[in-house]
Structure 1
Amino acid sequence: MKHRIVFLDDEGIGPDIVLPEMPFDHSWVSYRYTQPDQVVERLRGATVALTCSVAFREEHLAQLPDLQMISLALTGTDIVDMEYCKARGIKVTNVPGYATNTVAEHSLAMMFELFRKVSSYNRLMQQVQRGETEPRNIYFDFPIRDLCGRVLGIVGHGSIGKRVAELGRAIGMKVFFYDRDGRYVGPEFTSMEKLLQVSDVLMITCPLTEETRDLVGAAELAQMKRDAILINTGRGGIVNEGALIEVMLAGRIGGAALDVLVDEPVQPDNPIMQLIGMHNFILTPHVAWSSKDAMQYLISRSVENINEFVFSRADARLSSTAD
């Protein structure tokens, strides 16, 4: 059988990423991005779909009788109507855990920047070089703080949260987790109220659910130390952005770093842009997951999932014929 494979959104994979071979008879079509109203048209006749972000709902799947498999180049499966796929016998695969190291390292890079002010002082030296600022013997423009001995509070106990904790301990931080589900006991697990009060760094690494939406709002921010920093590499919506803007502008928090927002991609008129330019605020455009290493593993594993599916189907047909 010749498979028709369609990659719906290859813009989700960087230009330097190598696509592994698929050693079976197939045709391949790739699109930069696919809008919801283009899904059915582009997948008509396809047996395998590969995507980084395009959603598959029942209204799409019901019009694609040839579709046998969906390979998701991402961690979750929430963009797919899984019940319908199960009923129709459509195989759905994903790549759990691919972003563990890259998101954890991005989170710590943000933390180091807010405590050590490396980029702020580098920009100051650029001003000196351009003659905009006089050179001095000693610079105290931006306060530098050590991380060793500080308290790292983590909301989220998945693979990323655990990796963040490992890295934090390695530099001498004391780690606490907020356990949302009440499944864990031990000295490192505490209530949200206690976590807010003791954390020098509050790190959000959990998914967005109805339970975690606006988990950190005005009331929670008011309980944090005035010099504590907040970092969110989980999902937009977990931190109430309006409340964060208010405390940042009022100087009632030590700083914040966001890689995720409610509205993405971020637009110039987004209210969060009021904070751009503040030395204690960092905004990155949802790139924590996108290290070259992580993306290569992501696409390699996604294609491997396709290969395994195709060959398992072939083996099943051979076994059936033999019987």
Structure 2
Amino acid sequence: MKHRVVFLDDEGIGPGVVIPDLPFEHEWVSYHYTQPEQLVERLKGATVALTCSVPLREEHLSQLPDLQMISLALTGTDIVDVDYCQARGIKVGNVPGYATNTVAEHSVAMMFELFRRASSYHRLMQQVHAGTHEPKNIYFDFPIRDLRGRLLGIVGNGPIAKRVAELGKAIGMKVSFHDRGGRYSGPGFVSLDELLRNSDVLMINCPLTEETRDLVGAAQLAQMKPDAVIVNTGRGGVVNEAALIDAMERGQLGGAAVDVLEQEPAQPDNPIFRLIDHPNFILNPHVAWSSQDAMQGLINQALGNIAQFVNSTHSPALRSGAAR
């Protein structure tokens, strides 16, 4: 059997990432992005679908009788109707844990920037060079703070949260966790109220669920230290965005760094842009996951899942080194 493998959105893999060859006879088709109304036509006759972000719902899957496998180049499976796939015998593969290091490192980088202000001082030197800021002997334009000895409060208990904790401890920070599900307790785990009151850095490293939506709202932000900072590389919606904007505009927080929003991609009229020129605010477009190393590992595993699936079906088409 010759498999037809369709990559629905190769825009999800950055330039420089090498897509490995599949070791079986196949036809390879790749699209930059696939709109919902294009999906069924593009997957017609496909046995394998590869997607980074294009959803596959029952309304589409029911029209694709040849589809045998969906390989997700991401960790979550919520963009696919998994129950329908299970009922119809369509295999769904994902890549858990690929972003553990990259998201943790990006989280810590944002934390460092809010405390150490390296980029802020670089932009200040650009202004000096352009003649729009007066040269000085000593600059105190942006207060610099040390991280050693501070309390890093982490909402979450997964691989990313644990890696963030390792990095924080290596810096010399104290670390506390709040497990939003209440499944873990003991040394290092505290209530959310205690975490909010004592944290110098509140790090969000948990998924968005009904349980975590608006977990940190106006009442929770009001409990935090006035110089504390929030870093959210988890999911938009865990921190209520309207409450965060209000707290920052009123000077209630020492800073905030956000890589994830409730509505993505961010549109120009998103209220979060009210903070875009705030000196203690950082906004990134959901890039914490996307290091070159992480993306290469992601696509390697996503293609590996396809090869493993085909191998498990004992297809006679399997052969080593087949060209696309």
> Please, what TM-score do these two structures have when normalized by structure 2?
0.96
Taking structure 1 as the reference length, the TM-score comes to 0.97
Please say if 1:109 is aligned against 2:109.
yes
Note the C-alpha offset of 1:269. Answer: 1.3
1:154 matches 2:154? yes
**Paired AA for residue 123 in structure 1:** R
Mapped partners of 1:114, 1:296: distance in 2 = 29
Matched with 1:207 is 207
Return closer, same or farther for 1:186/1:49 CA change in 2, 3 Å cut-off: same
| CA distance in structure 1 between the partners assigned to 2:185 and 2:211 by the alignment | 20
Alignment partner of 1:125 is 2:125: yes
**Cα distance in 2 between the residues matched to 1:273 and 1:216:** 20
C-alpha contact (below 8 Å) 2:24/2:317 kept by paired residues:
no
Q: 1:195 deviation in Å?
A: 0.3
- Name the aligned partner's letter for residue 254 of structure 2: G
Partner of 1:280: 280
Which residue does 1:15 correspond to in 2?
A: 15
Q: Secondary structure at the match of 1:177?
A: strand
DSSP-derived class of the 1:190 partner: coil
User: Could you say what secondary structure the match of 1:314 adopts?
Assistant: coil
Partner of 1:172: 172
Where relative contact order (Cα < 8 A, 6+ residues apart) is larger, the structure is 2
CA RMSD of aligned residues (A): 1.3
Distance (Å, rounded) in 1 between the aligned partners of 2:203 and 2:181: 17
Query: C-alpha displacement at 1:255, in angstroms?
Result: 0.3
Partner of 1:64: 64
Establish whether residue 293 from structure 1 lines up as the match of residue 266 from structure 2: no
- Distance in structure 1 (CA, Å) of the matches to 2:269 and 2:299: 34
Structure 2 Cα separation of the partners of residues 304 and 293 of structure 1: 16
Question: What SS does the corresponding residue of 2:313 show, helix, strand or coil?
Answer: helix
Distance apart, 1:185 and its partner CA: 2.2
Q: Distance in 2 between matches of 1:91 and 1:225?
A: 48
Q: Distance in 2 between matches of 1:51 and 1:317?
A: 23
* SS of alignment partner, residue 127 of structure 2: helix
Residues 199-254 of structure 1: CA distance to partner in whole angstroms, max 9, x if unpaired? 00000010000010011110000000000000100111111111111110111100
Q: What's 1:270 paired with?
A: 270
Per mean C-alpha deviation after superposition, the further-off stretch among 268-277 and 188-197 is 268-277
SS of 2:222 mapped into structure 1: helix
Q: Could you tell me how far 1:129 is from its partner in structure 2? A: 1.1
Cα distance in 1 between the residues matched to 2:222 and 2:29: 52
Rounded to whole Å, the distance in 2 between the matches of 1:242 and 1:182 is 26
Q: Cα deviations across residues 266-311 of structure 1 (Å, max 9, x unaligned)?
A: 1111111011111100000000000000000000000011111111
Distance in 2 of aligned mates of 1:8 and 1:16:
19
What pairs with 1:1-323 in structure 2 (closer than 5 Å)? 1-314=1-314
Structure 2 distance, partners of 1:315, 1:2, is 9
CA separation in 1, counterparts of 2:309 and 2:150? 48
Gaps of 5+ in 2: 319-324
Task: Tell me what 2:321 maps to.
Answer: none
* Counterpart secondary structure, 1:243: helix
Q: Deviation at 1:317?
A: 10
**Structure 1, unaligned runs of 5 or more:** 319-323
After superposition, give the CA deviation of every residue in 1:129-177 in whole Å (9 maximum; x if it has no partner).
1111221111111000000000000001001000000000000000000
Greater CA drift, 165-174 or 177-186: 177-186
- SS across alignment from 1:154: strand
Tell me the secondary structure at the aligned position of residue 166 of structure 2: helix
Query: 1:315, CA displacement in angstroms?
Result: 5.8
